[in-house]
A and B are shown apart, each in its own frame.
Chain A
C-alpha cells in the first residue's frame, strides 16, 4: 500500500542530495522529496568549507580552524572526520569537473564583483583564474551582460592587492542576439558552436568570440570570462578559446542564474540515479504523521490534495531562511515542516543587529540538534527518534559570513545520511 521507502529525505539542495546518496550507499531504499529543483542553480558553484572565522578573520587552512568554532556550530556537532568524508563524497560525485582536493588550503577565486573568495573546491573551468597566480589577467565582459562589469571587477581586484596585473574590457558578444539575452542562450550558442553572422560573413560562435577578444589581449597571460562558456560542453568551449587565443581561459563565477551551479546539479542528478535514489519533486511537504515519538509519513501537498510518503527514517534538509526551511513572521521563528523548535529571542528587536552588515543573530537561526543531528525540543529532548537534520536548516552557523554553506551541507548531509542508512 502507498509509497514506502527506508529513508525519506525532505529537501533537494546539496544537503538533501548528499544525505540521500550516503544513505543509499548504505544499502537503504531512499526517496528524496523536494519542492523546488536543487538550489544549486542559484549558487556560485564554489564549495566553501570555511572562509572566515566567526570574528571575520580570513581562514587559510579551514581544517585547522574548525575546532575553534563555537560549541553549537554544525561542524562541532559532526566533527572534522565527517567534514572530510562529506568532501570525499563530493569529490567522487564531481570527478574531474572540480579541483581543490589536492590540498587542505583554501583557494582564492576572483568573483564577478571583483572580490577574492576563499573556497575549498572550485570548478575546473575556474582553475586558471586563481588570484594567487601572477600572470597578467584580462577580464572580458559583455555589453549585454550587466551583471559582470569587467573593468570595474579588474580595478577592485587590483585594489584588493592580487599579485597579478588586472585589466578589464567590455565587448559585444558577436552575433545577433537580443539585447537581454540570457546566459543560457550564450552558453547554447557556444555549446553548439552555432553559425554566427558577422560583418565579415558567417563564422562559428567560438571562433567569433575569440576574434572579438584577441585585439585586447595585449600581452595578458590569461583571460577571464563571465561563467557562460557552455552548459554541456564547457571544456570543449574553453579549449577552443584557449587554442585560438594562445593563452589560458577561465570563468568567473556569477550570481544566479549560475551555469557552474547548473552543471554541478547535473553531476549530482547522475549520482542520484546511479545510487537508485527515487525522487519526487515539484510540490512541498506540508505535514506529517507521527506516533510514539517517531515520524511515520510526510505529506506532500498539491492544491489541497495530500500524498503520503512513508519511511522508517527521515532527514530534514529544507535549507535556511533562503531555502524556506526556516521561516519567520512577527511572532516567532519556525521550522514549518515538522514544527521543530527553533531557539530565538522572544523579543523581535533582538533578532538583528543595528548595522546592516552587523552580526545578526537571525543569520544563525535554525534547529538545534544533538551529536546524532536529531532536532531538539525547547527542553533539550529529542523531537523524534527517527528524524535528523542537515544543511541550512541547522542553527548555529552564519553561512554567508563564514563562507561555509556548501561545506556544512556536505558534512552534515553525509553524517545524517549515514546515520539514517545505518538505522534502517
Chain B
C-alpha cells in the first residue's frame, strides 16, 4: 500500500474529463479558479486512495473539532482534524497505516460545515475508512511476517484478525441492512418477533456486538414496492412533470407510509411518479468503510436514475441521507457514467416541490388537525441546506406547530448507535435532543431521517412523523 505519487499521466474520467486537476497534488490556485482545485474523482482513478489534497488546505485552526459530536463525548476519538489531514501526515511516515480511531467517526458530516478552508473532511474520512477496512485483510500481512521469518508476529496478526473479523462481520450485517430487510419483508410478522426476541438479541450482542438496548424497527406487512405494484403504478401520466422516486430501504421496508404520502402529494400536484429499480443508497456502507459494497449498489442506482433523468425526470428522495449520498458522496467517491447528472438532478422531496410549486401558498390556505411537533433536523439535511426547511414551510399552516429542538446531533448516525461499544456514546450525544424534545410543547416528533426517528423514539417514547406525512394531511 505504498503512497504513490499522484504526479503522472493518470487518465481523465469520462464524465468530468474537461476539468483541470490536482495533478501535482498541490492546489495552487485560489478559490477564484476553483475548477483547478482538488477534484476528488481523479484521486480515485488510481487504486491507491489519497488524502493529501485536502490536507494541504488545512491550517489547523481546529474549528472542525468543536463541531464533532463524537469527540465531545468519546475521549478515545481524536476528532475530525486528526481523521482527515493528520491521518494523511501520519501515513506518510514509514510503517504507519490508517489509525483505527477512524472507526469511531459516525459519518455525521458536521465537520464539513465548520471548516472555513473547505477541507473535504467527510470525504477524507470515507476514504481513510475505506483504506482502513482494506488494510484489515490480514492474510497478506501474515504471509509477509512469515516470509520475514517472524512466526510469532504472524500468529499475533492472525489473532488480531480473528477479533477484527467479528467486528467486520457485524459491520457488514449492519451496513447491508437492505439484504436483511429483504429477507425479513418476506415474513414481516415473524421477523418482527424474531428480531426483537430477547434471547436472540442477547446472543447478537454477545457474539456480534449489536446492542440489545434497541428495538429493531418494525417491518411493514407490505413493502412500498409491493403497494406500488398492487395499485398499478402511477395514477398520473405527465411527460412534462416527472419525478423518479428514490425510496431507499426504510420507506420501502419499514416506514412505507412516508413513501405513500410522497406519491399522493406529488400526484396531487400533477406529477407522474416513476419508481425505478434501486439498491441501498450506500450510506451505511460509507460509514463502515465498505466502499466496494457501496460502489456495487451505486452502480445500479446511478444507471437506473440516470436513465430516468434521460426520460425527463428529476430524482427525489424522502430520506436526507439518501439524497446526500446521491448528491455528494457518490460524485466524491466514485467515478461512474451519469453520476454527475444524478447529483445535479437529485432533490429532497419537500425541497423540490418548494422550488417548483407554490408550496407556501398552498400551505397558507390549508388547515389540519395535527397539533404540535418537536422537529429535529438530521445532520445530513444540514449539509444540504435543508435544516430549517420544515420549520419555515409549516410556519403558516393552521392547525400545526412545528418547533425546532435545536441543532444537536441525534447521536444514532445510522449504524453507529447500533454498535454495542458505541451505544452509550450515542445516547450521550442524543441527550441534548431528548431534553429539548421534552421541553418542547409537542409530544409527537418530526424528522426526515429514519434512523434519527428511531433514536428520537428510543430516547423519548414519542411517535415520530415525516414532514411528507403532514404535507399529505394538509394538501391531499
Q: Does B175 lie at the interface of the complex (its beta carbon under 8 Å from any beta carbon of A)?
A: no
With A182-B65, A256-B61, A256-B62 in contact, is A334–B358 under 8 Å at CB? no
Tell whether, in the assembled complex, residue A184 and residue B328 are in contact, meaning their CB atoms are under 8 Å apart: no
340-359 of chain B: CB within 8 A of chain A: 340, 343-347, 351, 354-358
Residues of A near B71 (CB, < 8 A) are 182, 184-185
B66 touches A183 (CB 8 A): yes
**Chain B residues whose C-beta falls within 8 Å of the C-beta of A2 in the assembled complex:** 354-356
Q: Which of A183, A257, A303, A305 has the most CB of B within 10 A?
A: A303
Q: Which of A318-354 contact B (CB under 8 A)?
A: 322-324, 327-329, 334, 336
Residues on B with beta carbons closer than 8 Å to the beta carbon of A262? 66
Task: Tell me which of A278, A283, A328 contacts B388 (CB under 8 A).
Answer: A278
How many residues on B have C-beta within 8 angstroms of the other chain's C-beta atoms? Answer: 45
The reply to whether B328 and A257 form a contact with Cβ atoms under 8 Å apart is no
B94 partner residues in chain A, CB cutoff 8 A:
none
- Which of B62, B82, B113, B385 is the one whose CB lies under 8 Å from A302? B385
Bound CA–CA A34/B61 (angstroms): 20
Q: Report whether A282 and B385 are in contact in the complex, using a CB–CB cutoff of 8 Å.
A: yes
CB-CB nearest in chain B for A255: B61
A283 touches B385 (CB 8 A): yes
Is there an interface contact between A36 and B113, defined as CB atoms closer than 8 Å?
yes
Interface size on A, residues (CB 8 A): 44
B75 to A304, Cβ gap below 8 A?
no
CA distance A26 to B383 in the complex (A): 30
| A50-58, A94-102, A173-181, A240-248: which lies at the interface | A173-181
A303 CA to B114 CA, complexed, in Å: 18
**A286 closest partner in B (C-beta):** B34
Q: Which residues of A contact B31 (CB under 8 A)?
A: 324, 327, 336
Q: Is the CB of A257 within 8 A of B65?
A: yes
Bound Cα distance A185, B68 (Å): 10
B1 CB–A CB distance under 8 Å:
no
B384 with A328: CB separation less than 8 A: no
Q: Find A41's partner among B29, B66, B385, B404 (CB 8 Å cutoff).
A: B66
User: Is B369 on the interface with A (CB-CB < 8 A)?
Assistant: no
In the complex where A178-B76, A329-B29 touch, is A257 in contact with B344 (Cβ < 8 A)? no
Q: Which of A182, A183, A188, A255 has the most CB of B within 10 A?
A: A182
B328 touches A303 (CB 8 A): yes
Query: How many Å lie between the Cα of A36 and that of B63 in the bound state?
Result: 12
Q: Indicate whether A42 sits within 8 Å of B30 (C-beta atoms), given known contacts A1-B357, A36-B113, A37-B113.
A: no
Q: In the complex where A3-B354, A304-B343 touch, is A182 in contact with B30 (Cβ < 8 A)?
A: no
**Does B72 sit within 8 A of A, measured CB to CB?**
yes
Q: How far is the CB of B260 from chain A (nearest CB, A)?
A: 27
- Which of A180, A279, A323, A329 lies in contact with B78, CB distance below 8 A? A180
Smallest CB-CB separation from A281: which chain B residue? B385
Q: Which of B373-408 contact A (CB under 8 A)?
A: 382-385, 387-388, 392, 404
Which of B29, B82, B343, B392 is in CB contact (< 8 Å) with A305?
Answer: B343
A300 within 8 A of B: yes
Interface residue A39 (Cβ < 8 Å from any Cβ of B): yes
Residue A307 lies at the interface, judged by CB distance under 8 Å to chain B: yes
What's the least CB distance linking A261 to chain B, in Å? 10
The reply on A280 being an interface residue by CB < 8 A is yes
Contact of B392 with A278 in the complex, beta carbons under 8 Å: yes
Choice from B32, B72, B384, B404 contacting A327 with Cβ under 8 Å: B32
In the complex, whether B331 has a CB less than 8 A from a CB of chain A is yes
Report if B116 contacts A (CB, 8 A): yes
Determine if A302 and B75 form an interchain contact, defined as CB atoms under 8 angstroms apart: no
- Chain B residue numbers with a CB within 8 Å of A255 are 61
Interface string of B30-71 (1 = CB under 8 A from A): 111100000000000000000000000000011101100001
B-facing mask of A242-283, CB < 8 A → 1, else 0? Answer: 000000000000011100001000000000010000111111
Residues from chain B with Cβ under 8 Å of A305 in the complex: 327, 343-347
- Contact present for A178 and B392 (CB under 8 Å): no
Q: Which residues of B contact A180 (CB under 8 A)?
A: 78, 82
B-chain residues with CB within 8 Å of residue A42 when the two chains form the complex: 61, 63, 116
Which B residues lie within 8 Å of A36 (CB)? 113-116
| B445 CB within 8 Å of chain A | no
A257–B345 touching, CB < 8 Å: no
Kindly provide the distance from the CB of B29 to the nearest chain A CB, expressed in whole angstroms.
6
Q: Does B284 contact A (CB under 8 A)?
A: no
B79 within 8 A of A: yes
- 0 or 1 for each of B97-139: is its CB under 8 Å from A? (1 = yes): 0000000000000000111100000000000000000000000
How does the 8 Å CB contact mask read for B355-367 relative to A, with 1 for contact and 0 for none?
1111000000000
| A328, B66: Cβ atoms closer than 8 Å | no
Known: A178-B78, A256-B62, A300-B385. A282 touches B33 (CB 8 A): no
Contact of A328 among B30, B82, B114, B383 (CB under 8 A): B30
Q: Which residue of A lies closest to B340 (CB)?
A: A304
CB B285 to nearest CB in A, in angstroms, measures 20
From B30, B78, B355, name the one whose CB has the most chain A CB atoms within 10 angstroms: B30
B75–A181 touching, CB < 8 Å: yes
Q: Which residue of B lies closest to A184 (CB)?
A: B66
Specify the chain B residue showing the minimal Cβ separation from A176.
B75
The A175-204 residues at the B interface (CB cut-off 8 A) are 176-178, 180-185, 188
CA distance A323 to B388 in the complex (A): 23
A177 near B356 with CB under 8 A, answer no
Of B63, B78, B356, chain A has the most CB atoms within 10 Å of the CB of: B63
When distances are taken between beta carbons in the complex, the residues of chain B under 8 Å from A273 are 404
Contacts of B72 in A (CB 8 A): 184-185, 188
Q: Are B65 and A184 touching (Cβ within 8 A)?
A: yes
Q: How far is the CB of A203 from chain B (nearest CB, A)?
A: 18
Determine how close the nearest CB of chain B comes to the CB of A175; give it in whole angstroms: 9
Contacting residues, chain A, for B82 (C-beta < 8 A): 180
**Docked complex Cα distance between A255 and B354 (Å):** 41
Contact B343 A303 (CB under 8 A): yes
Asked whether, in the complex, the Cβ of A304 is within 8 Å of the Cβ of B344, the reply is yes
Q: List residues of chain B with CB within 8 A of the CB of A185.
A: 71-72, 75
B-contacting residues, A278-322, CB 8 Å: 278-283, 300, 302-305, 307-308, 322
A262 CA / B387 CA spacing, docked (Å): 19
Give min CB distance, A251 to chain B, whole Å.
16
A304 surroundings in chain B (CB, below 8 A): 340, 343-344
Query: Shortest CB–CB separation between residue B380 and chain A, in angstroms?
Result: 11
Cα-based distance from A255 to B66 in the complex (angstroms): 13
| 16 A-B pairs with C-beta separation under 8 A | A1-B356, A1-B357, A1-B358, A2-B354, A3-B354, A41-B66, A41-B114, A183-B62, A257-B62, A273-B404, A281-B382, A281-B385, A282-B387, A302-B328, A303-B327, A336-B32
Residues of B within 8 A of A (CB): 29-33, 61-63, 65-66, 71-73, 75-76, 78-79, 82, 113-116, 327-328, 331, 340, 343-347, 351, 354-358, 382-385, 387-388, 392, 404
Q: Which 5 A-B pairs have the closest CB atoms?
A: A304-B344, A282-B385, A327-B32, A256-B61, A257-B66
Besides A36-B115, A184-B71, 20 other CB < 8 A contacts? A2-B355, A36-B116, A42-B63, A182-B62, A182-B65, A185-B72, A257-B61, A257-B63, A257-B66, A262-B66, A280-B385, A281-B382, A302-B327, A303-B327, A303-B328, A304-B344, A305-B347, A328-B30, A329-B29, A334-B32
